[in-house]
């Protein structure tokens, strides 16, 4: 699964899309929505609300340069089985809380 549209149909990405829309952002269908929400969080959350923002920004930049939607998704969920029930991370949360949750997840994977 490397098609961005197919990846964005996953429940977690649909929940991230809802958070982006609630934040007034227009989701980009060519990039996983979870990746976009993480980027939005780094740009909009207070610096003290994010663990290791420089490390996360560097990681997101490298992933964006790669241009591989599957690699972007795997940065959050290294194992395919982790994706299935993951929408609860962001479902029905404010954009700020949803972004914080995905950044925490990314920080845990990057550690």
Question: pLDDT digit string (tens) for 66-105?
Answer: 888 888 888 888 887 888 778 788 888 899 999 999 999 8
| Mean pLDDT estimate for the chain | 88
* Mean pLDDT, residues 39-57: 87
* Mean pLDDT, residues 35-51: 89
Cα(28)–Cα(39) distance, integer angstroms: 12
Cα(86)–Cα(41) distance, integer angstroms: 18
Which pLDDT does position 1 carry in this prediction? 65
**Within 13 Å, how many C-alpha atoms sit on residue 50's CB side?**
24
Say if residues 56 and 103 touch (Cβ distance below 8 Å): yes
pTM (whole model) above 0.85: yes
Tell the burial category of 107 from Cβ atoms under 10 Å away from its Cβ (0-12, 13-18, 19+): middle
Quickly count: other Cβ atoms within 10 Å of residue 74's Cβ. 17
Tell the burial category of 61 from Cβ atoms under 10 Å away from its Cβ (0-12, 13-18, 19+): exposed
Domain ranges within the chain, ordered by starting residue: 4-19+30-110
Quickly count: other Cβ atoms within 10 Å of residue 100's Cβ. 20
């Amino acid at each position: 699964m490397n098609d961005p549209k197919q990846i964005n149909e996953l429940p977690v990405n649909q929940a991230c899309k809802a958070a982006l829309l609630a934040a007034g952002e227009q989701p980009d269908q060519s990039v996983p929505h979870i990746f976009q929400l993480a980027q939005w969080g780094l740009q909009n959350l207070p610096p003290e609300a994010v663990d290791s923002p420089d490390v996360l920004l560097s990681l997101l930049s490298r992933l964006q340069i790669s241009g591989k939607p599957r690699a972007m998704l795997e940065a959050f969920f290294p194992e395919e089985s982790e994706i299935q029930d993951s929408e609860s991370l962001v479902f029905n949360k404010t954009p700020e809380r949803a972004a914080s949750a995905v950044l925490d997840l990314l920080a845990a994977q990057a550690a």
